[in-house]
Chain A
Amino acid sequence: MENLVYIALFAPFASSLFAALFGMSERQVFVGVVASSLLAISFISSVLLAINLYTTGNVIHVTMMDWISAGDLKIPFGFVVDQVSVTMMTVVTLVSTVVHIYSIGYMDHDKSFNRFFSYLSAFVFSMMILVMSDNFAGLFIGWEGVGVCSWLLIGFWYHKADVTREENPSISPSWAANEAFIMNRIADLGMLIGLFVIYWNTGSLQYDEVFAQLPYLSETILNTAAFALFIGAMGKSAQFPLHTWLTDAMEGPTPVSALIHAATMVTAGVFLVIRANPLFAMTPEVSFFIASLGTFVAFFAASMALVNRDLKRIIAFSTLSQLGYMFAAAGLGAYWIALFHLAAHAFFKALLFLGAGNVMHAMHDELDIFKMGGLKKAMRWTWAYMGLASLALAGIFPFAGFFSKDAIIETAFNEGTYVLWAVLVLTAGMTAFYSFRQVFLTFHGDERYKEFGIHPHEMYKYVLIAMSPLAILAMVAGFGMHGYEAFVTNLLPEYHMSEHTHHLVIWLTLIVSAFAISGILLAYVKYAKGLKRDEKLENSFAYKLLANQYYIPQLYEEFITKPYKIVSEVFWEKVDLKIVDATVDNIAKALYKTGDSTRSMQTGNLSNYLNWMAVGGVVLLVIAAISAMLV
């Protein structure tokens, strides 16, 4: 079994190195095939590990080597395969295998085809380290690793020109990559502080040792650690106010959006909260803050998705919104429900993104849904996939999203936080509306793309087949919920609805479903027949506010980026040039000057040298005499 752990972990690494060998050369299809097969091997190993864990219940804990050992600090390179990590491993490797195969088709015409696979596999490797590590240090390494890979992949088309937000609201890949990376750095500082607080107070970074120490710590320390860790989670999972990078990250290739910015990396924050659940369970205030922020983001992101015109950005907003749901569940103590929603969401959101990639491929990289419509005729399979994924996202019975999202909303009701519950129910309706607004505008109604001279065509067959596992899981994953609960609550705390909630469950479900269905119906009425633009609505303040993402990017630009630039320039001119550089320069100049002035000694005349030697001798004698007298 230990070998399986290593295979699952290192197959993506091998894949990355293999693809890197061909990084600079022409497109080679076999690179993609080899990378996909290695990922598939990793997936199979993960599944075998999951089956083993399910049948025997034995948690596998391996220590590969001592990594850091200095004084009292001992951090081994250890990995643990328990119920939580095996869930993540299976989800990550499944989605990444599908995305790898998909990329063979999607990146078909890209000259950096091989390089793409190298980055993508490196990402999977980092993600595996993140989820499998048995200590916070390893988690942090993976955390930074996925950050770097995300940067590399968002900026994959770095050669595209840099344009400012005023000219093009969808900016350039390199700008977006830097934005994502820098925002994550801000959050990672919080995370690091959290790790330091934990280490100082428990003397360890191993999960089990840290959690065993928690009851002996004071409330302040616990709150500080929990809050600092959550700041890290906020950055990675793009929670308000660090959310703007996620939609801009859509500049990257679509497979990247599907894998990193929907299914896996952005859920790392949720994973952290679930992983550190003993800590968060002991800090109810922080947990409630997490739940409230999650609910707020769920609503906030969904509201922006209502009016957006960019195919990928709508899905990105919905990702944000669903991450909000996960945090709401985790914050309310229903950790296993959060993890279940994480897995279910990974399936249907990756499917949705890959479908969007098919549409982009067909529409020659056009993303404006107002310019699409009627694509159903040309792309039947993609329509089916995206429709199915949207149903799952909207939470319609019997798709995966119905079970997981419903459980989260029930939790909010059960905890007595009725405000959160109401907001989450409303958001469920909005989710259904914007998902189907997108589906109807893209696939139904009049064929608006014709006037742009585009001839859409369906994606390659093998790509469509590769997407099917996600589609099947998006349909049936919900039925595994009870089995999964039994499995994962071996490790995570159980969560039961109270008697009161139990009686009302059917009504709660009906309310949520009613909201979701009415959202879909509204979208159908408004958009299924074609696009009728309403000038008055589009010019209204609320619409503009939403379309401009509450002007938050502009606010950041005005109040953070620009002042920062001014301050930087002042520091550069006043401090760096005048103090730091000047000091260094003057030392060098002083050396030059003494050299210049003493050069005249070198007359070439031996007699002069002898005189100088005598002078030196006398000086030394005098110094010796003086020091002898002083002593």
Chain B
Amino acid sequence: MIGLSHYLIVSAIIFSIGLVGVLRRRNLLMLFFATEVMLNAVNIAFAAISHYYNDLTGQMFAFFIIAIAASEVAVGLGILIVLYKKHGSLDLDDLANMRG
């Protein structure tokens, strides 16, 4: 029987994968993907917990997150295109020009 904890474990694993991606990747586009992965890990947890408690609020939240993630991607990709046009690269090591 697949229970709540299984879903949560899957969610945690996916979240960790996303986190590692955020920490290790150098390409901005890949960072973007990694954050999407993290968001969806959270969605899984929301849906599972919502089902477990028989409360629809969690699933509503998951939809909200999907909607916000979509708009975020729209804005974020626009910024990425401008950045690429300006620097010719999306590598974070090349973009470091705010050294303190």
Contacts and interface: CB of A to CB of B under 8 A. Distances in A.
- Residue of B23, B28, B31, B93 with most chain A CB atoms under a 10 A cut-off: B23
Given A605-B92, A605-B93, A606-B92, A611 B23 contact: yes
Contact of B96 (A599, A601, A603, A611): A603
A614 B93 contact: no
A602 B23 contact: no
A55 interface: no
B99 interface: yes
A219 to B, nearest CB: 75
Interface in B1-42: 19, 22-23, 25-26, 28, 31
A602 B95 contact: no
Q: Give the interface SS of chain A, mostly helix, strand, loop or mixed.
A: helix
A607 interface: yes
B23 A610 contact: yes
B100 interface: yes
A604 B98 contact: yes
15 contacts: A599-B100, A601-B100, A602-B98, A602-B100, A603-B100, A604-B96, A604-B98, A604-B99, A605-B92, A605-B96, A607-B23, A607-B26, A607-B92, A610-B22, A610-B23
Contacts of B93: 605, 607
A610 B93 CA distance: 13
A614 B92 contact: no
B97 interface: yes
A603 B26 contact: no
Contacts of A602: 98-100
Interface in A596-630: 599, 601-607, 610-611, 614
Interface of B: 19, 22-23, 25-26, 28, 31, 92-93, 95-100
Nearest to A602: B100
Contacts of A610: 22-23, 31
A605 B98 CA distance: 8
Nearest to B98: A604
Contacts of A603: 96, 99-100
A614 B100 contact: no
Contacts of B22: 610, 614
A605 B95 CA distance: 7
A606 B31 CA distance: 11
Contacts of A601: 100
B50 to A, nearest CB: 23
A614 B24 CA distance: 12
B81 to A, nearest CB: 17
Nearest to A615: B23
- Can you list the 10 inter-chain pairs with the closest CB atoms, starting with the nearest? A602-B100, A604-B99, A604-B98, A605-B96, A604-B96, A607-B92, A606-B92, A610-B22, A611-B23, A599-B100
Nearest to B99: A604
A604 B98 CA distance: 4
A606 B92 CA distance: 6
Contacts of A605: 92-93, 95-96
